[in-house]
């Protein structure tokens, strides 16, 4: 039955690792913790049970700004979903609560704060089938993004008497144990997916002074190196992370002054400015967002083709979370980090006002991040090991293994690139899909349709689905329905339009 929903609703031919195991546990009424990398399809593990079970599935999501996108994405494939949060007018809230009473919804999204207030009251007495807690690492004070409001979720299981599914992309074993305890889970199934994502091509460069002689693995001009990276990926979506608000503003100004469609984003901007930037990125009106880590968790964009760190992230877990925003659709994407010991010192100053134990904990994580990536061992292996997974060296998806040098600053290992898609020679399928005019034509058509419907472009079809179309060249409905990501509702709304574009070539 889950296989049928996967194909008939979502248009995917098979499950990704870990998905079916979690779904079976949930359908059997068992608590479950799923630790799976970004892009592994965590949302399907509660959306498919929501279609198969009686009662509504409550999804606890950390950000109000993310909920509308989550609901829109669910509705776009034919699921019955809504959200309850403080952004709603009293009339909208009444309408949605009435819909809950009628049983109109399979999925209801709410923030942890809301479950102590209006959303919790609206759900009281309703028949729930499942509670899914997204970004579950936020409940642990040992997680990299602890949020006190998540502590209020502890009584959910007793309150509603249904299974709990906790999902996260970044959790060490101590954090997983804390999640289980905080959510009062009973003998949960623990599913840990592989954190190796071969479509992410990872490179790291040690920042040196301008007077230092360049050598493999170093750069002495970070700003222009980033400009070269971004320019070589013209028209692709990307994020450039910076440590401070000041560096965000200067880098965004530098890029936009040189012809890049770049915008800045940080917590010092007012909510209207931040919303404008988010919408421009989601609608592909801005290619590059230069941001502090304030930008990320609220972004559900699967076709981010590169993530660049101008400065070193504060921990290995933070790095895993941030690069995980690239290539969620499974298509090749680049992750390039610039780091230095000066970045470590900057983090030490930032935590100086915390109590001694917390400050030392943060300092140790920043030092660990520097040491882990300064070793120049397999990047994917380093990240997987941090989360408790043993794996062989990736062989081809990082600079340490494959000699990738997307910046082109190290003559000894530089790899000539004729294409801006990935840091290594593309396969024939990728060349056909990403490099030709037909793919560009389909992207332009997607944007036109998305703009007319006021939705993000990826909600029409993501990059990976467009690539599959250009590789498979379907000629009729039956062949189009075989393309991964083309479910029945997407076919009805967009299928004939894209078939016509493919026929025209």
CA distance 11 to 264: 36
Residue at 319 is within a domain: yes
Q: In terms of residues, how long is the chain? A: 505
**Residue 92 domain flag:** yes
pLDDT-above-70 percentage for the chain: 92
d(C-alpha 190, C-alpha 445), whole Å: 42
Question: Is 71 part of any domain?
Answer: yes
**Mean pLDDT, residues 116-134:** 85
Lowest mean per-residue pLDDT among 214-223, 317-326, 351-360: 214-223
pLDDT of residue 195: 86
Residue showing tokens 């599914």: 165
Regarding whether 419 and 305 lie in a shared domain, the answer is: yes
* Number of C-beta neighbours around residue 69 at 10 A: 20
Among the candidates 144, 167, 192, a domain finishes at: 192
Could you tell me if 84 and 137 lie in one domain?
yes
Q: Which tokens is 51 given?
A: 């279609």
User: pLDDT tens digits for 324-345?
Assistant: 999 988 889 999 999 999 999 9
Number of domains, the chain: 3
Instruction: Tell me whether residue 264 is in a domain.
Output: yes
User: pLDDT band for position 141 (50/70/90)?
Assistant: confident
For residues 182 and 156, the answer to whether their CB atoms sit within 8 Å is no
Q: Which two tokens stand for residue 503?
A: 């026929």
Do residues 27 and 110 both lie within one domain? yes
User: pLDDT at residue 99 above 50?
Assistant: yes
d(CA 398, CA 268): 34
Q: Are residues 250 and 172 in the same domain?
A: no
Q: Is the pLDDT of residue 143 over 70?
A: no
Q: Classify 449 as helix, strand or coil.
A: helix
pLDDT for 250-302, tens place per residue?
999 999 999 999 999 998 999 899 989 988 998 899 999 999 987 876 567 88
Considering the domain boundaries, does residue 451 fall inside one? yes
Both 485 and 391 in one domain: the answer is no
Q: Does 309 share its domain with 458?
A: no
CATH code assigned at 323:
3.40.50.300
The residue to which tokens 């008497």 are assigned: 161
Does some domain include residue 281?
A: no
Whether 436 and 324 share a structural domain: no
314 is in which domain, residue-wise? 200-275+287-425
The DSSP code for 352 is T
Given the structure tokens 């965590």, which residue do they identify? 42
Q: Write the CB contacts of 263 (distance below 8 Å, at least 6 apart in sequence).
A: 252, 256, 277, 280, 281, 286, 288, 289, 290
Helix (H, G, I), strand (E, B) or coil at 73: helix
* Per-residue pLDDT, 433: 43
Find the mean pLDDT for residues 213-228.
82
Q: Among 425, 457, 478, where does a domain finish? A: 425
Which of 239, 261, 455, 243 has the alpha carbon at shortest distance from 347? 243
Same domain for 445 and 412, yes or no, is no
Contacts of 458 (CB under 8 A, 6+ apart): 282, 301, 302, 303, 329
Taking 50 as the threshold, does the pLDDT of residue 147 lie above it?
yes
* Among 128, 158, 192, residue at a domain's last position: 192
Q: What average pLDDT does the segment 225-240 reach?
A: 93
pLDDT in tens, 407-430: 876 543 337 333 333 333 334 344
Pairing of strands 237-241, 288-291: parallel
What is d(CA 320, CA 147) in angstroms, rounded to the nearest whole number?
Answer: 19
Tell me the CATH number at 499: 1.10.150.80
| Residue 417: per-residue pLDDT | 35
From the list 36, 23, 2, the residue with the least C-alpha distance to 384 is 36
Residues 133 and 229 in one domain: no
3-class state of residue 40 by DSSP: coil
Residues 469 and 437 in one domain: yes
Please say if the pLDDT value at position 316 is more than 60. yes
Q: Is the overall model pTM greater than 0.75, yes or no?
A: yes
Report pLDDT for 434. Answer: 44
Packing angle, helices 356-374 and 379-386, rounded to 10: 150
Is 90 exceeded by the pLDDT of residue 47? yes
DSSP, residue by residue, 255-324? HHTTT--EEEE-TTS-HHHHHHHHHHHHTTS-SEEEE-TTSSTT---TTEEEEEESS--SSHHHHHHHHT
pLDDT at residue 447 in the model:
94
- The verdict on 333 and 443 lying in the same domain is no
Q: Are residues 377 and 450 in the same domain?
A: no
**Which has the closest alpha carbon to 147: 157, 133, 159?**
133
Kindly report the number of other CB atoms within 10 A of residue 85's CB atom: 20
Of 117-121, 175-179, 274-278, 481-485, which gets the smallest average pLDDT? 117-121
The reply to whether 282 falls in a domain is: no
């Amino acid at each position: 039955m889950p296989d049928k929903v996967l194909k008939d609703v979502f248009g995917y031919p098979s499950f990704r690792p870990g998905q079916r195991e979690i779904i079976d546990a949930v359908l059997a009424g068992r608590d479950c913790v799923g630790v799976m990398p970004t892009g592994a399809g965590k949302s399907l593990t509660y959306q498919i049970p929501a279609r198969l079970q009686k009662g509504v599935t409550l999804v606890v999501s950390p950000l109000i700004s993310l909920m509308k996108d989550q609901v829109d994405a669910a509705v776009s494939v034919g699921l019955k979903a809504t959200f309850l949060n403080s952004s709603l007018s009293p009339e909208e809230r009444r309408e949605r609560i009435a819909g809950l009473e009628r049983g109109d919804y399979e999925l209801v999204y709410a923030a942890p704060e809301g479950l102590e207030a209006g959303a919790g009251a609206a759900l009281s007495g309703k028949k729930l089938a499942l509670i899914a807690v997204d970004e579950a690492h936020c409940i642990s004070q040992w997680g990299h993004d602890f949020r006190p409001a998540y502590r209020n979720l502890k009584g959910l299981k007793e309150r509603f008497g249904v299974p709990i599914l906790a999902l996260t992309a970044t959790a060490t074993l101590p954090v997983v144990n804390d999640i289980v305890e905080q959510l009062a889970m009973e003998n949960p199934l623990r599913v840990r997916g592989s954190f190796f994502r071969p479509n992410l091509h990872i490179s790291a460069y040690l920042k040196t002074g301008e007077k230092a002689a360049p050598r493999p693995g170093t750069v002495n001009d970070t700003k222009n190196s980033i400009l070269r990276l971004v320019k070589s990926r013209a028209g692709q979506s990307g994020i450039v992370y910076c440590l401070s608000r000041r560096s965000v503003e200067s880098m965004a100004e530098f890029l936009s002054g040189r012809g890049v469609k770049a915008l800045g984003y940080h917590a010092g901007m007012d909510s209207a400015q931040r919303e404008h930037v988010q919408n421009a990125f989601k609608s592909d009106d801005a290619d590059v967002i230069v941001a502090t880590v304030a930008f990320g968790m609220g972004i559900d964009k699967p076709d981010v083709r590169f993530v660049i760190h101008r400065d070193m992230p504060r921990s290995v877990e933070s790095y895993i979370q941030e690069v995980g925003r690239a290539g969620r659709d499974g298509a090749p994407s680049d992750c390039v980090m610039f780091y230095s010991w000066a970045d470590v010192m900057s983090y030490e100053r930032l935590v100086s006002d915390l109590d001694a134990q917390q400050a030392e904990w943060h300092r140790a994580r920043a030092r660990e991040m520097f040491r882990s990536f300064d070793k120049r061992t397999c990047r994917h292996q380093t990240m997987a090991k941090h989360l408790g997974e043993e794996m062989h060296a990736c062989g081809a998806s990082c600079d340490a293994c494959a000699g990738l040098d997307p910046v082109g600053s190290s003559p000894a290992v530089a790899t000539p690139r004729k294409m801006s898609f990935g840091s290594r020679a593309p396969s024939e399928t990728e060349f056909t899909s990403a490099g030709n005019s037909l793919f560009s034509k389909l992207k332009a058509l997607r944007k036109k349709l998305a703009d007319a419907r006021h939705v993000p472009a990826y909600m029409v079809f993501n990059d990976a689905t467009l690539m599959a179309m250009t590789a498979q060249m379907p000629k009729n409905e039956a062949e189009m329905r075989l393309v991964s990501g083309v479910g029945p509702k997407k076919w009805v709304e967009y299928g004939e339009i894209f078939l016509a574009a493919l026929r025209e070539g």
